[in-house]
A and B are shown apart, each in its own frame.
Chain A
Amino acid sequence: MLASSARVFDLSLGQMLWSRRSVFLGFLLGGPVLLAAAIRIVTATTPFWRFSVNGARVSGPGLFGMMMWLLYIRFIVPVLGVFYGTALIADEVDDKTITYLFTRPVRRGAVLLGKYLAYLACTTLLVLPSVVLVYFLIVPLGGGRVGELFPSLLGDLGMLVVGLAGYGAVFAWVGARLRRPLVIGLVFVLGWEPSILLFPGYLKRLTVAYYLQALVPHAMPQDSAIGVLMQVFREVPTIATSLLSLAIIIAVTLWSAVRAVEDREYVLDQ
């Protein structure tokens, strides 16, 4: 199974990297970099201007933490998970190329796993440089030390990979199991997750974000409405619980996706 997945991975990675979806991903990931560059330019050309939220000044590392949380963790990573995860098999079906993969001596589950690994490699290769660029542009603002905070950057990068793995696995399952997976996925990440996280109770445990937020290493700004909101968001489990839960989510959803693909018939329109 693993050897077959590796072969599918080889075939799929290049296809994914040069797909239209990756162009979209490039635009999506260019946004935070452009925003960071704009902030940096404004700060450099306007000596007395400092970034603030509700009047409270935010340091470079604090701003980077906010960008990580609000742009990457809460938006880019889930959206990438939805767009790529739901399309792992659907793209091949739409393009009618699935026949070539499903008539080879490779288990269908291995096709899905290989494509999932290709998704993870593709998105990681594209997301991490964007984050690193934002880090170097934003952290030095207000005297933040790039070298000193580097370990937290590694933590951020690791968390992003875990996030991509988690959302990708969930939406690989949604894509393998349901019709109209993209709509369902977008409703989940843009509707269900943000709203349910605002309420106390157990329902938030039915989100990926709940477990992911425990891994955010940054202290959020405290002296503002956003800070209060962040604290609500950060009602979180321990890191160990989060990692274990995310590992279970990834394993269970991937296994379910493999089962779904193995059992399902794909009827191509002629």
Chain B
Amino acid sequence: MIEAAAPIVVTSHLSKWYGQVIGLNDVTVTVPVGITGLLGPNGAGKSTFLKLITGQLKPNQGEIFILGERIWGNPALYVRIGFCPEQDAFYERMTGLEWVSALVRLNGAGEREADERAHRALEAVDLLDAAGKKIGAYSKGMRQRVKMAQALAHDPDLLILDEPLSGLDPIARRKTIRLVKEWARSGKSIIVSSHILHEIESMTSNILLINQGRIVAEGNVHQIRDLIDTHPHTVSIRADQPRALAREFLAADDVLSLRFEDGAIVVQTAKPDVFYARLTELAANGELGSIHEVTSPDDNLQAVFQYLVNT
């Protein structure tokens, strides 16, 4: 368990560049215990920041302390950290249970303990039924959840989730958000990245705003909430019955426009909270078939950042 007042991440003048390209520029930040959202458009530096704080990259300048210790070249610290990366990469021939269990064994657990922990983690992400299936046969949502399971199976103090809701269906999203909140209530800390404000807001009000490699704002960013309401939010949905869903959406006041693109419905809404709540209800009652995937491009956030930079 982490001491109450101790920050989980402290960076000082942290910079990282790849050749001529600056990934992160002079970032000094203190991340407190609890849930912290890392919000920024694609290419803003979120992944670089997460790779630095998970010790995958070495800073060119500055310092990083995770749970009070340096992370680069300090593998012992990973006992206390769980990382769920963004990339959709697995050992496809292994079953979910084999994979999670094998990774827990790397944490030093014996075979039996690793299997038990893997079971518990897969149960937590609602994937126990598919634990014996090969990962190669998993749906996008299942793959996302098994990634979460490997991150939390060893019961870390700090969970770092890179775009964990990406590609999940509405029900899986709701469950994941609930899981993250439960995890935080049990005294763990979580850093979760996203390019969608709505997603972050549903988990925490403590936000780090990142753009062009810099932290542009941090804390309880109400202004962003106001700004997002002035910019339409785009959502892409893949479902069994897109036309029936489209009819349902068009009847709603908050839907500004709707179009079909590559088999998906692309909706612009002025009230993302209302829209996502309705979408989750529709997915739960199943009257209009299954909703497989919900994604949102970062145009919305990019517009907000543009506004922030200009003002």
Contact = CB atoms under 8 A, between A and B. Distances in A.
A49 B119 CA distance: 65
A138 B10 CA distance: 68
Contacts of B54: 103
Contacts of B102: 10-11
A87 to B, nearest CB: 15
Most B CB contacts (10 A, CB to CB) among A7, A100, A103, A270 go to A103
Nearest to B104: A104
Interface stretch (B105-113, B137-145, B234-242, B299-307): B105-113
Contacts of A24: none
Nearest to A96: B89
A99 interface: yes
Given A105-B75, A267-B18, A268-B87, A100 B103 contact: yes
Given A15-B93, A95-B89, A266-B56, A104 B103 contact: yes
Contacts of A270: 47, 86-87
Interface stretch (B32-40, B77-85, B186-194): B77-85
Interface in A102-132: 102-108
A7 B105 contact: yes
A14 B76 CA distance: 26
Interface in A57-107: 95-97, 99-107
B19 to A, nearest CB: 10
Contacts of A96: 85, 87, 89
Nearest to A92: B89
Interface residues of B, number: 30
A105 B106 contact: yes
Contacts of A18: 93
Interface in B11-65: 18, 47, 54-58
Nearest to B101: A11
A190 B85 CA distance: 40
A4 interface: yes
Contacts of A103: 54-56, 78, 81, 83
Contacts of A148: none
B286 interface: no
Interface residues of A, number: 27
B83 A99 contact: yes
Contacts of B57: 265, 267
A100 B105 contact: no
B91 interface: yes
A100 B91 CA distance: 10
B51 to A, nearest CB: 8
Contacts of A107: 75
Most A CB contacts (10 A, CB to CB) among B58, B105, B150 go to B105
Given A96-B87, A267-B18, A104 B93 contact: no
Given A99-B83, A267-B57, A104 B78 contact: yes
B260 interface: no
Given A4-B106, A7-B105, A8-B106, A97 B55 contact: no
A103 B154 CA distance: 12
Given A104-B75, A265-B57, A267-B57, A99 B85 contact: yes
A6 to B, nearest CB: 10
Contacts of A97: 89-91
A18 B134 CA distance: 14
Interface in A6-51: 7-8, 10-11, 14-15, 18
A105 B104 CA distance: 10
Given A100-B150, A270-B87, A105 B76 contact: yes
Given A18-B93, A103-B55, A105-B76, A7 B87 contact: no
Contact of B75 (A10, A106, A266, A267): A106
B105 A11 contact: yes
A102 B73 CA distance: 10
A100 B148 CA distance: 12
A257 to B, nearest CB: 17
Interface in B91-130: 91, 93-94, 102-103, 105-108
A103 B150 CA distance: 11
9 nearest A-B pairs in the assembled complex, by CB-CB distance: A96-B89, A104-B106, A105-B78, A103-B83, A96-B87, A11-B102, A99-B85, A105-B79, A97-B89
23 contacts: A4-B106, A7-B106, A10-B102, A11-B102, A11-B106, A14-B93, A15-B91, A96-B85, A99-B85, A100-B103, A102-B55, A102-B56, A103-B81, A104-B103, A105-B108, A106-B75, A106-B78, A108-B75, A265-B58, A266-B56, A267-B57, A268-B87, A270-B87
